[in-house]
Amino acid sequence: MENPNVRNIYCVGRNYSSFAKEMGNKVSETPIIFLKPTHSLVSMTGNVIELAGSVGEVNCEAEIVLHIGRDFQPGIQIDDLVNQFTVGLDFTYRELLNDVKKKGQPWMPAKGFRNSSLIGKFHTFKSESVKANDFKLLQNGEVLQVGNVRDMVFSLQTLVDFIGERYGLGQGDLIYTGTPEGIAKLQHQDTLEIQWGAENIGSCRVSLKS
CATH value at residue 139: 3.90.850.10
Total count of residues recorded for the chain: 210
pLDDT of residue 124: 96
Q: Is 14 a domain residue? A: yes
pLDDT of residue 125: 97
DSSP-H helix ranges across the chain: 17-22, 78-81, 94-103, 108-111, 156-166
Distance CA 179, CA 196 (A): 14
pLDDT of residue 104: 96
Q: Is 53 a domain residue? A: yes
CB 163 within 8 A of CB 175: yes
CB 126 within 8 A of CB 84: no
What's the distance, CA 63 to chain centroid?
Answer: 4
Rg (CA), the chain: 16
Classify each residue of 135-161 as buried b or exposed e, where b means 16 or more C-beta atoms within 10 Å of its C-beta: bbbbbeeeebbebebebbbbebeebbb
Q: Is 1 a domain residue? A: no
Query: How many other C-beta atoms can be found within 10 angstroms of the C-beta atom of residue 122?
Result: 15
Q: In total, how many domains does the chain have?
A: 1
Q: What is the model's pTM?
A: 0.94
Q: Is 59 a domain residue? A: yes
Task: List the domain range (segments joined by +) for residue 88.
Answer: 9-209
Classify 140 in phi/psi space as left (phi over 0), alpha (psi -120 to 50) or beta: left
- pLDDT 10s per residue in the chain (210 long)? 345 479 999 999 999 987 657 766 677 899 999 999 999 999 999 999 999 999 999 999 999 999 999 999 999 999 999 999 999 999 999 999 999 999 999 999 999 999 999 999 999 999 998 999 999 999 999 999 999 999 999 999 999 999 999 999 999 999 999 999 998 899 999 999 999 999 999 999 999 998
Q: Is 3 a domain residue? A: no
What's the distance, CA 148 to chain centroid?
Answer: 13
Q: Is 2 a domain residue? A: no
pLDDT of residue 19: 64
CB 18 within 8 A of CB 178: no
Sheet holding 47-52, edge to edge: 47-52, 199-209, 191-196, 135-139, 142-147
